[in-house]
Each structure stands twice: as structure tokens, then as C-alpha cells.
Chains A and B, each alone.
Chain A
Amino acid sequence: MFQHFIRLQWKSFFRSSSMGKGLGLKIIMGFLAIYMLGSLALSGGFLFVILQKAFPNLDPVLVVSKYLLYWILAELFLRYFMQKLPVLDIKPFLTLPVKKSSITHYILGRSGVSFYNFLILFFFGPFAIVLLAQGYPTVKVLGWLLSLLGIVLSINYINFIINKSDKAFMVVGTVLLLTYAMDYFGWFPVKEYAGKVFYALYQNPIFTLVPIALAGATYWINYNYLRNRIFLDASLKQKTKLAETTDLAWTKRFGDIAPFLQLDMKLIWRNKRTKMQLFISLAMIFYGLIFYTMEDFGPTSALFVLVGILMTGIFLSNFGQFIPAWDSEYYSMMMAQNIPLRRYLESKVGLISVSIVVMFLLSIPYVYFGWKALVINFACAVYNLGINIPVILYFGSFNKKRIDLTKSAVGNIQGTSAIQFMVMIPLMVVPCTLYFVIKTFVSFEVAIGILCVLGATGYAFRKTIMDWMTERYRKKKYGMIAGFKEKNS
């Protein structure tokens, strides 16, 4: 039986939509994956040396043990967002002659061997190898590694017991903050005690049985819970949220494009992925702090143009690059409805323009770092308005990949193709280079002036640009409709 399940799993992986992506994207994703695993393994390998330098009198294993508690809490916290038991996948098996117990074991076992769980092996594996090379006793090191694996598996299954309960999530978050605060302010040495407990796992390999037993117990609890709830109206039911309606009457002042603005705002607010991007965009306003607090660049570095373009244009690039794929689920309706294409595009431009203005207003406090910061951000906002909006719309017209709005935002690359990476070049590199060259050879004032003039020119010609853009979207319409219909692209 399990052989069948494993074969199915294999197929579902290799036939999944992300494997069918374009070659360019596959290579980029592949590099990213190798890079991440590589840096994990490298930092794991060097961890021993680093800790030895930092805490010369302590056993590195003890130092790691001290921080394990935070790692566990943080992982529980993160997994709340990332991981969900894929119960819906077992629906097809319900009516087939498969025992419910095997189905349950299958789905729980499958989550146990998920990629997340083995991520830590890439980190602690090299660390353990270094330990062995340093002459640490093999039994103890292996026992310790095994304990870690047991802990990860326990986290994995505890997460399903918590099962997206907001209360438990709050509790974990609070405990994480509280323990850290207690340590930080020296109220109670949590780290020391936790360190002793986890160090014991190393010192006495017998204790390894504890995390492993815990993993087994959490598995068993999950099993008992799930086994009796494999019914369409119990655990296999998708939760539906109560709809909240708002009429957003204030958008009426935008005239013709108001209905589309309302639609876009509902789109952003009511779908996970778009909502996440909104928060990311708002958080990006702090991006500049990283660079402005460093002294080394001088007040007019080209780097600040990059920062300015990013801060005022983050929504532009995040939201704009997937125009019109956000509407892919119902694009044929939009095209058959009484909507002139031009007005549809104008409403997107309107939304992005508003976002640029808002982000610029939020960035005004950067004036604290000197008036030049304000001037740079202003020039970037103008440039974004006049030049980058048409640029992003132009690149948007290449979109042919469907975006499933109901999917979560974390690690979601649906709708992404090589174009999304290429778009960064004109959006950011062009203005930065331009600014850098002019500033170096002429002056700061002229460089800023040129960015503003470029932006203003683009804005002045927006009618002509929109005419041309509408024509382009009209030509691409059939390809988009066909592409957006393909569910697994």
C-alpha cells in the first residue's frame, strides 16, 4: 500500500506545476536553492570555530544548547504560517478500497519527511561532522543529532495539533518574547536553564529517547485525532471565512475608475498573497534606515537612489509586475464585460500612483538624515510616477501565467517567470546608473533635476503612452486569456 502512496508522491512532485516552469526560472530557483542550502551547510560547518572564538571557555555544544529553546519557539512560530496538513489531498482515496488507518499514516508520515524537517540536518549535520573531527565522542554526537531530529519532528506534529489556532499562536509568540526579555533584562536566566536541559541530551545519549518518544507521542495524538475525522464534513472541510462587506464610497471621487479601484482594494484585502504584499510594502519604508544609518556612503550616494526607488516604488514593483495576472481567475469576464481596456489599465495606474504618493509621504521623516535625503526620495517618487509606471505596465503585458489568489503568499512563486527578474533592471538599475554618472561628472543638483524632468516628461505624455499601452494589451489579450485559463502553469 505504502509503495503506491510513495509512487504517487513522487509523481505529484515531478509533475507539479513548479517543475513545469520555464527553464530560465528553473535555473534561477535551482541556484537559489543551492545557494541557501550551501550557506546553511557552510555556516553549520563554521559554527564550531565561530563559537570557539566567541566563547573561548565554553563547550560550543553547550552554547548551541543554550539557544535551542529560542530556535524551537521561533520554528513553532514560523511554521504556523508556513505549514498546514494537506488533508485535502487524501479526498480521492476515501472511496477507494484503502484502509483509513493507512490513509492517516500516509498523510502524517508524508508531513514527517517534508523538506522543512530536513533543513536542520543541512545545518547541524556539518556541525556534527566538525565535532567528530574535533574528537568528540561519536555516540554522544550522534545521539545529540538524533535528539535534534526528534525535536524537529515533535515541532512538526505539535504544529498540526495546534492546527492554526490563533490562541496557541499568540501563546507561542508571547512565550518567545517573554523568555527573550527575561534573558535580555536579566530577570531570569532562561538561557542557562534551557541550555542545561538540552546539553543533557548531549551528555547522556540515553536522554535521546525523550525527544524521540515525544515525536512518537505527538504523532500518535495526531493519528488518533485524524483517524476518526476523515470525513468530508469534519477535518476535510475547508474553513470559510465570514464575508465582510464595505462599500468604499470614498473612492467615488476618482470618477470613472472608482469601481475598479474598489475592486482592486477588495482584491488586495481579501486575498492572502496580495494582503501580505501590502504589509511588505509598508514595512519597506524602514529599508532606508539600514543605509542611512551607515556613515560610509556620504549624503548623495547612488545607493540612496536605489533605496528611494525601492521605498516609494515597492508596491509598484510587487503589485505592478503581476498586472493583469491578479485578475487572471476572471480575466475572460473582464474582457467580455462592458469595460474599455483603457479604463481598466488607468485604474491600475491610479492605484499604483496613490501608493507612490503615500510611500513618499511616509518617507518624509528621512529628512532627519539631511534635506538631501528628502530631495532624493522626492526625485525617485517623481521618476517612479512618470517612467516606472509605464515600464511596469509594459512588462505586465508579457504576463500569461495564472495566479491562484487563494494560495498563501509564503514562498509562492505562482505567476512568476523570467520576466519578473528582468524587470528589475529598467526599474532600478537605469535610474541609479543615470544618477551616478551625472552626479559624478556634473553635480548632485543636475542629477536630481534630470530624474525629476524624466519623471515629469513621462507624466506629461501619459495620454499617448496609455494609448499605446492599451493597444498593446489589446493585441496580447487572446494570449492572456488562453494562458490564464491554464490552471497548472
Chain B
Amino acid sequence: MIITQNLTKKYGSQIVLNIEHLEVPKGQSFGLVGNNGAGKTTFFSLLLDLIQPTTGHITNNDVQVNISEAWKPFTSSFIDETFLIGYLTPEEYFYFIGTLRGQNKADVDALLSNFEDFFHGEILGQKKYLRDLSKGNQKKAGIVGSFIGNPEVVILDEPFANLDPTTQIRLKSIIKDLADKQGVTVLVSSHDLIHVTEVCERIVVLNKGEVVRDIRTSAETLKELENFFGGRMAKEGEVV
């Protein structure tokens, strides 16, 4: 579904991302982990054509993202709160995204009804604009917004941060369900190793812009990741 070829991104002389080849097949739940500055958000931004690659390219379902806009109808994402329109109410925001993705009000309402427990009664019907919601609730609205319109690819940057435990657990089951039952390709990044190992079939570790691990998730994965970040990274820190 998503193929990355010889992708690099440089700022000045600093290479922030360098991925030779990375393929994410359709219907995979794909996790990206790494420390701050490892290049996770850079990768997602390149995938969404928000920044330009220095070399190489990404194709999303055979569409090269920095040339054609044809990936937009089947790709949806929530990167950060800049993806929200602050002066809309959550409902208006959802309907707006719905119209962009060819869904009428009834379709959107039907989808939203699945998320009532996720919203916990704090999002819908509150007579509040998105800009006045708490960070956590903004995030919930943004994440659910990215599920509207049956996308084939869903990209979520740090979806678990700022969420309360109940919602985290619920989100994990939603993401699993999307990938397993509906064949949606889900790309998730996270700092939380436990969450990613629970949700993702495959985990790629980025370090300073390079892929250093590509793991098919198993019972030992969490241990392996903890060893990696606890052991190797800590040592690296000492050397520096």
C-alpha cells in the first residue's frame, strides 16, 4: 500500500530522515517508535505531502504523494491540534470532514454513534467550540474525525498521548478493529512502547532518521524494545 523509496530529508547539512526502502502492506497496523527527533513526525509529514522530500519519494496506493493529489480521498490523518478548526463545534467539524469525504449528515451521525463511549459525553452537544475544549478532548475529536469517510489509510501521530486510560484502551481496540476487520492500513507513532506493542502487528524503530529495527510483533517484542531503548540508547548517551 505504502512504499517508501530512497527517502531523505535534510535541513541544511543535517539529515533528519533517511529511509532506503520501507513497505507497508494493505491492512497492516504499523507502529513507529523512536525518541524525540528520531523522524517520526517528519515521516508522517512527508507521507501527507506537508513537507518536500530532499530525495526519493513515497507512493501511497500507487500514487506518488508529492506529485499527485489523488491519495487524498482514501487517506485520512490526525497529526496534532493544528488539524482542528478551532472556531467550529465538534459536530460542525465532523460534518465538514464528512462533506469533504462525500458523507452526508446521517452517515456521519451513524459513525459518531459508535464512539459515544469514546467521547464520554464530553464532546457532542456541549455547545463549545473546539478551541475551548481541553487538550485531551480536542485529541479525541481529531482522532474520530480521521475515521470519517471509510479511509483506506489512517495516519495518527502520538494518538495515545494526553488521553485518559479508558479512552486509551478503547482506542486500542478501535485501531485493531480497523486493521483486522476492515482492512484499513493504520500507521501509528508513539512514545509508549506498551501501547504500540499491543496495537501494532509490526513495529519499526527509528533512530536519528534511520530504521534501526523492523519487528513483527510477538510476545517478546516489548522486552526487546525495552532492551533497545534502555540499554543501547542509554549507553549511547554515555558515550556522547
List chain A positions with a Cβ less than 8 A from chain B: 240-245, 258-259, 262-263, 266-267, 270-271, 329-333, 335-341, 405-406, 478, 481-482, 485
Interface size class of B (residues with CB under 8 A): 35 or more
- Which A residue's beta carbon lies closest to that of B132? A240
Pick from A266, A337, A478: contact of B92, CB under 8 Å:
A266
* Extra A-B contacts (16), CB below 8 Å, given A241-B132, A258-B99, A330-B82: A243-B126, A243-B129, A245-B92, A259-B96, A263-B85, A270-B129, A330-B86, A332-B82, A332-B83, A333-B85, A339-B100, A340-B69, A405-B87, A406-B131, A478-B52, A481-B50
CB distance from B21 to the nearest CB of A (A): 24
A336 contacts B96, CB within 8 Å? no
- Which A residue's beta carbon lies closest to that of B97? A337
- Which A residue's beta carbon lies closest to that of B131? A406
Within 8 Å of chain A (Cβ to Cβ): is B26?
A: no
A332 contacts B79, CB within 8 Å? yes
CB distance from A392 to the nearest CB of B (A): 23
List chain B positions with a Cβ less than 8 A from chain A: 45, 48-52, 69, 72-73, 75-77, 79, 82-89, 91-92, 96-97, 99-101, 126-129, 131-132, 149
- Which B residue's beta carbon lies closest to that of A404? B86
B127 contacts A330, CB within 8 Å? no
B131 contacts A242, CB within 8 Å? no
Pick from B79, B88, B126: contact of A266, CB under 8 Å:
B88
Residue contacts A-B, CB under 8 angstroms, 22 given: A240-B128, A241-B132, A242-B127, A243-B89, A243-B128, A258-B99, A259-B96, A263-B88, A266-B87, A330-B83, A330-B85, A332-B50, A332-B83, A333-B82, A333-B83, A336-B48, A336-B72, A336-B77, A338-B76, A339-B72, A405-B86, A481-B51
CB distance from B8 to the nearest CB of A (A): 16
Instruction: Using A245-B89, A259-B96, A266-B87 as known contacts, say yes or no to A338 and B82 having CB atoms under 8 A apart.
Output: no
CB distance from A88 to the nearest CB of B (A): 15
A271 contacts B87, CB within 8 Å? yes
CB distance from A307 to the nearest CB of B (A): 33
A-B pairs, 7 with minimum CB distance: A333-B83, A270-B87, A240-B132, A336-B48, A259-B99, A338-B72, A243-B89
Give CA–CA (A338, B132) in the complex, Å: 26
CB distance from A272 to the nearest CB of B (A): 11
CB distance from A150 to the nearest CB of B (A): 40
CB distance from B72 to the nearest CB of A (A): 4
Give CA–CA (A259, B105) in the complex, Å: 13
Q: Which of B85, B97, B99, B149 has the most CB of A within 10 A?
A: B85
CB distance from B78 to the nearest CB of A (A): 9
Instruction: Using A245-B91, A339-B100 as known contacts, say yes or no to A478 and B51 having CB atoms under 8 A apart.
Output: yes
A259 neighbours in B (Cβ, 8 Å): 96, 99-100
A243 neighbours in B (Cβ, 8 Å): 89, 126-129, 132
**Interface SS of chain A:** helix
- Which B residue's beta carbon lies closest to that of A271? B87
Give CA–CA (A146, B45) in the complex, Å: 60
CB distance from B37 to the nearest CB of A (A): 17
Give CA–CA (A341, B69) in the complex, Å: 9
A478 contacts B50, CB within 8 Å? yes
B86 contacts A406, CB within 8 Å? yes
A331 neighbours in B (Cβ, 8 Å): 82
A485 contacts B77, CB within 8 Å? no
Give CA–CA (A259, B98) in the complex, Å: 10
Give CA–CA (A340, B72) in the complex, Å: 9
B97 neighbours in A (Cβ, 8 Å): 337
- Which B residue's beta carbon lies closest to that of A482? B51
Pick from A242, A338, A482: contact of B73, CB under 8 Å:
A338
A485 neighbours in B (Cβ, 8 Å): 82
A245 neighbours in B (Cβ, 8 Å): 89, 91-92, 127
Pick from A335, A339, A341: contact of B50, CB under 8 Å:
A335
Instruction: Using A243-B89, A266-B87, A332-B79 as known contacts, say yes or no to A338 and B51 having CB atoms under 8 A apart.
Output: no
B89 neighbours in A (Cβ, 8 Å): 243, 245
B91 neighbours in A (Cβ, 8 Å): 245
CB distance from B108 to the nearest CB of A (A): 13
CB distance from A174 to the nearest CB of B (A): 31
CB distance from B12 to the nearest CB of A (A): 14
CB distance from A303 to the nearest CB of B (A): 39
CB distance from B71 to the nearest CB of A (A): 10
Give CA–CA (A339, B127) in the complex, Å: 27
- Which B residue's beta carbon lies closest to that of A333? B83
Give CA–CA (A172, B89) in the complex, Å: 34
Give CA–CA (A270, B87) in the complex, Å: 6
CB distance from A470 to the nearest CB of B (A): 10
Give CA–CA (A245, B99) in the complex, Å: 17
Give CA–CA (A266, B82) in the complex, Å: 18
Pick from B50, B87, B88, B128: contact of A336, CB under 8 Å:
B50
CB distance from B82 to the nearest CB of A (A): 6
CB distance from A464 to the nearest CB of B (A): 20
